[in-house]
Amino acid sequence: MAGMEFEYDEEGSTFYYFLLSFWALLIIPATYYLWPRAESEDEKERNRRLCHCPPCETKRQTVKVKTSWIKTRRKAIQVALIIGWVIFFLLAYKVSTIQMEYTEYDPFQILQIDRGASQREIKKAYRKLSLEYHPDKATGDSKMFMKVAKAYAALTDEESRKNWEEYGNPDGPGVTTFGIALPKWIVDDKNSIWVLMVYIGIFMVIMPACVGVWWYRSIKFSKDQVLLNTTRLYLYFFSKNPHMILKKVIMVLGASFEFDRNNNSEIVERPSDNEEVPMLMKQLPNLDEKNKERPLCFGYSVKARALLHAHFARYEVPPQSLKIDQMYVLKKCPALVNEMINILSQLVASAMARQRPNELPRLDTVENCMKVSQMITQALESKASPLQQLPHIRPDMMRHFVTKRRNVQRIRDLVAMDEEERRALLRNLNDAEYQDVMNVCATMPNVEMIVQSEVKDDEDKSITAGSIVTVTVSLKRRNMMDGFDIEKLTGEMEDTNMRDEEQEAVEEKEPDEEGKPVDEASPEQKPKTWQKHQHGKGKKKAKGKKPKQAYQWKQQPVQNVGAKSEHEGAEKQAEHEEGDEEEDGEGGSGTESEQEEAAAASKKQPTKSAAPKRARKDTEHEEDDWEKFQEEAKKENTLETKKKESHPVHCPYFPDEKQEGWWLYVADRKNHMLVSAPVQILTLKKEEEMTLKFSAPPKVGIYTYSVVLRSDSYFDFDQHHNFKLDVKEAKKVEDHPQWDISDTEDEAEAEKGNASNDSDYSTDNDDDDEEEEYDD
């Protein structure tokens, strides 16, 4: 019987099956992700509301020139995908035409007899064919003769017949053919050296070189692609100056090493900078170029700072030199500002952990960094009117917005005006320009914020000293004028700035002692002059019918569900305690000592029915905690994997297209402290739910905090909602029945205690006994 042997398929036909499968794994996902999509309804509506002011048109032309290759790339992708599918169908056709050279061995067919033939018929057929194909005959065929002899043996010899029935071959297990999924030339002996050299070149030269280049470049940057030297620079300055004014923040931003030629090869230093930069510096009064602090005094830092201030003032710079550098600086700034805020958050957490309040960066420093982001996006000074974010609104027009008849200081004030009055106010604009203003107003954000504070992962939902407070913030974003008629926006509005000033005045009058409730505004406070004027108007309107407010621009009231649940929990607990006292008062007869002994026995020996109930409650509590944990983990994974896309920002002076972003954090405005790390929200299209966590104060009392939502793109769209925390004293840990020592152990310890009279420790009772004996 022949042994088992292996023989590879030299034709390489199996390679086409591998190639077809591999090509399908490439072409199908590539078509799904790379095939250009049709324009959605949101994009059509956005294109319909495009602003056509000169800066926007200039920006679109610039972006169009820079992104002209995008259309070419889309067409190239379409052509490549079509060619890929053609190759796929050709491979499929090739695979369908491949025929495997395998035939089943059939001795009956070789002897030309039926399968049910007898031994006599088999012998007769063998004699006939052996004489016909014998090599000595004229019609002989040696190969066919051997086949006939082998077929005759397979049908007459018992061992050969058994091999044929089991293995399909009279000689036993034969040669097994395996196909390899590689082309034939790869396994050819003549090409083995070349194949080996290619493998060495790919896996031992090219791949290590690519990994090395990537590694040596990546170690210079943080996860947000900011130079580590820049991160160290921010850490040094913010540690040195916890309270940093806005002007100094801009100076530190301009000193980032991304703008230094020695740290960034993309920076271009031109000979014309020696003339153009000093000329630009003469036009900027707040540049502070005489500062000698390093690296704020370096040439690259002064140049970047000058370009930033020129951007804020909307000065024109030379288009072929400084304008290119200014665009590069502005593109880098959003990531750098975000890195500043991350560094400040780390410094706050570090100072809180080490209990060094003097090293805490002030809240003003964090908010100044966020304000710089708004200034960069809108190309405005910090004290500029928010109305200048609108197209065609110039600084010289501001005097028409604040008069004796009207007080329009915000975009919301402008939108809430009557159509005729608003058109009369903007009478200097033609119809096209007025339409641009209204289109931009319509796309600006209006965010509703609902705040809920609670303590999770704890049996007691009340906020105790040192507990972890979870603030859940629900955000709903919609366009400013969606679903509302502009002509009906005539209702009165409540100014957010007014409420902020009143709240700060109230907080200043609060007592310094912790634990006392926050005082409300006293009636003795005299309102300001402009407030008197507005109140007078309100009284006159109150005589008639109460005006209907078409749209409520004021910030949504805080629905502090956590405080409500705490109050209900306290009431239930008080009722429960009163019920226990009544039961104790109505108890049966007996002396007080007997009642105390009974109570002690009941504590030590819980009833049989109470133990299963307690175990069942513990199990249910664990299941609830596990479900909450799974929900939180699911939310975190969804936020991490969600596409960072929200709504486009109207920013004609910013070089790139920008999406709306928000920072959300908890602050203590009274003490100017940042309580929780700012969370950056880049996915607020319609609704988002965020959670903020921080530690409750260590002392008992009522504290007022603010949840702040700050835009990174627009002025005057920030919100803050105040909420109060009623911090209570942490409950003492009650003895668990499982911690009780058994009676036998108690007796043993008592005997040991009686035996050891010379103990080093004594209780208060022992001291009293000794004093009585001494008195006697």
> What pLDDT, in 10s, does the model give residues 530-558?
333 444 444 444 444 433 333 333 333 44
Between the alpha carbon of residue 264 and those of residues 19, 226, 302, 578, the distances in Å are: 44, 11, 17, 72
Q: What are the pLDDT digits (tens) for 316-343?
A: 999 888 999 999 999 999 999 999 999 9
Owner of token pair 């100017």: 672
Angle at 386 between CA 385 and CA 392, to 5 degrees: 90
**Is there a contact between 444 and 426 (Cβ–Cβ < 8 Å)?**
no
Lowest mean pLDDT among 355-364, 398-407, 615-624, 658-667: 615-624
Residues of the chain with pLDDT > 90: what percent? 28
Q: Find the DSSP H helices in 35-67.
A: 41-48, 54-66
Q: What are the pLDDT digits (tens) for 187-210?
A: 777 888 888 899 899 999 999 999
Residues of the chain with pLDDT > 70: what percent? 67
DSSP 493: -
**Is there a contact between 284 and 317 (Cβ–Cβ < 8 Å)?**
no
The pLDDT of residue 551: 30
**Is there a contact between 314 and 330 (Cβ–Cβ < 8 Å)?**
no
The pLDDT of residue 614: 57
User: Does an H or E element contain 529, and which?
Assistant: helix 529-543
The pLDDT of residue 545: 41
Looking at per-residue pLDDT, the higher value among 67 and 259 belongs to 259
Report how far apart the first and last C-alpha atoms of the chain are (Å, whole number): 116
Please state, in angstroms and rounded to a whole number, the distance separating the CA atoms of residues 456 and 692. 12
| CA-based nearest residue to 105, from 150, 157, 144 | 150
Amino acid identity, position 482: D
Looking at per-residue pLDDT, the higher value among 598 and 166 belongs to 166
The pLDDT of residue 344: 93
Please state, in angstroms and rounded to a whole number, the distance separating the CA atoms of residues 346 and 678. 11
| Tokens, residue 741 | 């020592």
| Tokens, residue 237 | 């300055």
Confidence of residue 9 (pLDDT cuts 50, 70, 90): low
**Is there a contact between 436 and 51 (Cβ–Cβ < 8 Å)?**
yes
Helix axes 322-354, 228-240, angle to 10 degrees: 60
Confidence of residue 625 (pLDDT cuts 50, 70, 90): low
Instruction: Mention every residue, 6+ apart, whose C-beta is less than 8 A from residue 308.
Output: 250, 253, 254, 329, 333, 376
- For the segment 596-601, the average pLDDT, to the nearest whole number, is 46
Q: Is the peptide bond before 170 cis (omega within 30 degrees of 0)?
A: no
Q: What are the pLDDT digits (tens) for 40-66?
A: 666 666 667 788 888 898 888 887 777
The pLDDT of residue 626: 65
| CA-based nearest residue to 366, from 680, 648, 658 | 680
Residues 66-94 as b or e (16 or more Cβ within 10 Å = b) = eeeeeeeeeeeeeeebeeeeeebeebeee
Confidence of residue 604 (pLDDT cuts 50, 70, 90): very low
Question: Is the pLDDT assigned to residue 528 strictly greater than 50?
Answer: no
Please state, in angstroms and rounded to a whole number, the distance separating the CA atoms of residues 146 and 153. 11
CATH number belonging to the domain at 445-520+557-563+631-731, selected among 1.10.1060.10, 1.20.120.1200, 2.60.120.10, 2.60.40.150: 2.60.40.150
Backbone φ/ψ region at 256: left (φ over 0), alpha (ψ -120 to 50), beta: beta
The pLDDT of residue 138: 74
State the CB neighbour count (10 A cutoff) for residue 496.
18
DSSP 525: P
φ and ψ at residue 471, rounded to 5 degrees: -105, 115
Lowest mean pLDDT among 246-255, 273-282, 376-385, 752-761: 752-761
Please state, in angstroms and rounded to a whole number, the distance separating the CA atoms of residues 468 and 732. 17
Looking at per-residue pLDDT, the higher value among 642 and 410 belongs to 410
- For the segment 26-51, the average pLDDT, to the nearest whole number, is 78
Mean pLDDT, the chain, rounded, equals 75
Please state, in angstroms and rounded to a whole number, the distance separating the CA atoms of residues 71 and 318. 30
Question: Is the pLDDT assigned to residue 211 strictly greater than 90?
Answer: yes
Q: What are the pLDDT digits (tens) for 410-469?
A: 998 899 888 999 999 999 999 999 999 999 998 899 999 999 888 775 566 778 888 888
Angle at 738 between CA 735 and CA 740, to 5 degrees: 65
User: Does an H or E element contain 244, and which?
Assistant: none
Owner of token pair 């692609």: 225
**Is there a contact between 247 and 288 (Cβ–Cβ < 8 Å)?**
yes
Confidence of residue 250 (pLDDT cuts 50, 70, 90): very high
The pLDDT of residue 632: 64
Lowest mean pLDDT among 173-182, 357-366, 500-509: 500-509
Q: Is 213 helix (H, G, I), strand (E, B) or coil?
A: helix
Q: Is 445 helix (H, G, I), strand (E, B) or coil?
A: strand
| DSSP one-letter string for 159-205 | HHHHHHHHHSSTTSS-EEEE--SS-TTTS-GGGHHHHHHHHHHIIII
The pLDDT of residue 496: 40
Between the alpha carbon of residue 719 and those of residues 349, 393, 443, 499, the distances in Å are: 24, 24, 18, 11
- For the segment 232-261, the average pLDDT, to the nearest whole number, is 93
**Is there a contact between 306 and 285 (Cβ–Cβ < 8 Å)?**
no
In the chain, domain spans: 5-97, 107-167, 189-218, 445-520+557-563+631-731
- For the segment 254-281, the average pLDDT, to the nearest whole number, is 91
Confidence of residue 616 (pLDDT cuts 50, 70, 90): low
Question: Is the pLDDT assigned to residue 671 strictly greater than 70?
Answer: yes
Question: Is the pLDDT assigned to residue 569 strictly greater than 60?
Answer: no
Do the domains spanning 107-167 and 445-520+557-563+631-731 agree at the CATH topology level?
no
Question: Is the pLDDT assigned to residue 253 strictly greater than 90?
Answer: yes
The pLDDT of residue 587: 40
**Is there a contact between 463 and 705 (Cβ–Cβ < 8 Å)?**
no
Owner of token pair 């208060």: 764
Between the alpha carbon of residue 660 and those of residues 10, 373, 444, 711, the distances in Å are: 61, 12, 10, 8
- Record the pTM: 0.67
| DSSP one-letter string for 696-738 | PPSS-EEEEEEEEEEESS-SS--EEEEEEEEEBPPPPPPPPGG
**Is there a contact between 493 and 413 (Cβ–Cβ < 8 Å)?**
yes
Range with the largest mean pLDDT of 3-17, 117-131, 338-352: 338-352
The pLDDT of residue 398: 87
Please state, in angstroms and rounded to a whole number, the distance separating the CA atoms of residues 383 and 322. 26
Burial of 221 (0-12, 13-18, 19+ CB in 10 A): middle
Please state, in angstroms and rounded to a whole number, the distance separating the CA atoms of residues 303 and 297. 10
Looking at per-residue pLDDT, the higher value among 555 and 690 belongs to 690
Q: Is 227 helix (H, G, I), strand (E, B) or coil?
A: strand
Residues 362-375 as b or e (16 or more Cβ within 10 Å = b) = bbbbbbbbbbbbbb
Helix axes 363-378, 246-254, angle to 10 degrees: 60
Query: Would you mind telling me the total number of residues written for the chain in this entry?
Result: 776
The pLDDT of residue 747: 55
The pLDDT of residue 231: 94
Dihedral over alpha carbons 256, 260, 262, 266 (to 10 degrees):
110
Strands ordered across the beta sheet of 445-454:
445-454, 468-479, 687-695
The pLDDT of residue 750: 53
Amino acid identity, position 360: L
| Tokens, residue 529 | 């002059």
| CA-based nearest residue to 705, from 497, 463, 453, 450 | 453
The pLDDT of residue 641: 60
The pLDDT of residue 27: 93
Please state, in angstroms and rounded to a whole number, the distance separating the CA atoms of residues 73 and 34. 11
Give domain 107-167's CATH superfamily.
DnaJ domain (1.10.287.110)
The pLDDT of residue 727: 86
Q: Find the DSSP H helices in 177-298.
A: 192-201, 207-218, 228-240, 246-254, 273-282
Looking at per-residue pLDDT, the higher value among 402 and 37 belongs to 402
| CA-based nearest residue to 484, from 412, 574, 430, 585 | 412
Q: What are the pLDDT digits (tens) for 708-749?
A: 999 999 999 999 999 988 888 877 766 555 555 555 555 555
Please state, in angstroms and rounded to a whole number, the distance separating the CA atoms of residues 699 and 58. 58
